[in-house]
Amino acid sequence: MGYHSPVLLNECIEGLNLKPNGIYVDVTFGGGGHSKEIMKHLDGGELFAFDQDDDAHKNNLNQKGFKLIDANFRFLKNFLRLEGVRKVDGILADLGVSSHQFDIAERGFSTRFEGELDMRMNPNSDLSAKEVVNNYSQENLANVLYKYGELKNSRRIAKKINDASSISNINTTKDLIAVIAEIVPEKHRNQFLARVFQAIRIEVNDEITALEEMLLSAVDILNPGGRLVVMSYHSLEDRLVKNLMKKGNLAGNMVKDFYGNPIKDLIEINRKVIVASSAEIADNSRARSAKLRVAEKINEN
């Protein structure tokens, strides 16, 4: 398999409602699959892509009208301003971890391979999974597991990890799995481990706060009629996207004006979440958990 097979590719492109001379942003470049398709529809337009992973930059398209920016998408607005861009016509986000990141054992993202407990999307950042597992207090670790993994037995897991790390450092993915093995319910083993790894990964990369900042920036810089297209892979991400598109804010509390009209800058294009077909899932298992939401900017800031 290549670097990363783009999920719901046609649906994403359709959702962006591309104009040949428009300005667009792919905030999660990765293997460049979505960006390549967007570029096919542009004639005089521009596409700016973001990725903080050095590996992704090896996939640079090197095409006229395309620029790959080495930054976290939370800094979307600032880096576009450096390029002289204040408003755009569409923004695409394919959230989560790329297939490439999962498949490289030494990145430590996957429960399938033995590798260093790393999980940094930006290999140059300071905080790694190893530090979270070995240096966080039991209480802080429990909070991470509960908040980002939605694990009800987070305190028990945290105690197990904390006790083990006080004796010897937990250095690899297999070390971590071995430590919590006896409290892993066999029936739901894969799902349980995935949630533990997800929670630690989100903490390492500050993913939820970064997503919140990107979404708010996206709404701000979209032109009226511009589209926000977001694909998420777990409930924490999807909840934020859904709240913003349906209720107008990240908290999901509908605010109305004096006349009882909802105060919001976006209107949903697809009221029902878009999911992959059985054929696509059979071809790309990553598509199974994908949820795509599309909204259009209706107000000028």
What is the average per-residue pLDDT within 80-90? 98
DSSP string covering 176-206, please? HHHHHGGGS-GGGHHHHHHHHHHHHHHHHHT
Using 50, 70 and 90 to split pLDDT, how confident is the model at 99? Answer: low
Tens digit of pLDDT for each residue in 5-36? 788 999 999 999 999 999 999 999 988 999 99
pLDDT at residue 3 in the model: 55
Residue percentage of the chain with pLDDT more than 70? 93
pLDDT at residue 58 in the model: 87
Domain boundaries, the chain: 9-99+207-297, 104-205
pLDDT at residue 180 in the model: 93
Tens digit of pLDDT for each residue in 220-259? 999 999 999 999 999 999 999 999 999 999 999 999 999 9
Using 50, 70 and 90 to split pLDDT, how confident is the model at 1? Answer: very low
Distances in whole angstroms, Cα of residue 109 to Cα of each of 114, 139, 243, 278, 301: 10, 23, 28, 26, 39
Checking if the pLDDT of 108 tops 70, the result is no
pLDDT at residue 300 in the model: 67
pLDDT at residue 104 in the model: 62
CATH T-level fold of 9-99+207-297: Rossmann fold (3.40.50)
Tens digit of pLDDT for each residue in 156-196? 999 999 999 999 999 999 999 999 988 887 888 888 998 99
Question: Which residues are registered as beta bridge partners of 295?
Answer: 228, 268
Distances in whole angstroms, Cα of residue 179 to Cα of each of 102, 147, 165, 183, 184: 21, 21, 9, 9, 10
Q: Which run of H or E residues covers position 114? A: none
What is the average per-residue pLDDT within 85-89? 98
Nearest partner of 294 among 279, 277, 281, 275, judged by Cα:
275
Indicate the CATH number for domain 104-205.
Answer: 1.10.150.170
**Which residue did the predictor score with more confidence, 103 or 64?**
64
Cα separation of 220 and 265, whole Å?
A: 9
Using 50, 70 and 90 to split pLDDT, how confident is the model at 98? Answer: low
pLDDT at residue 115 in the model: 86
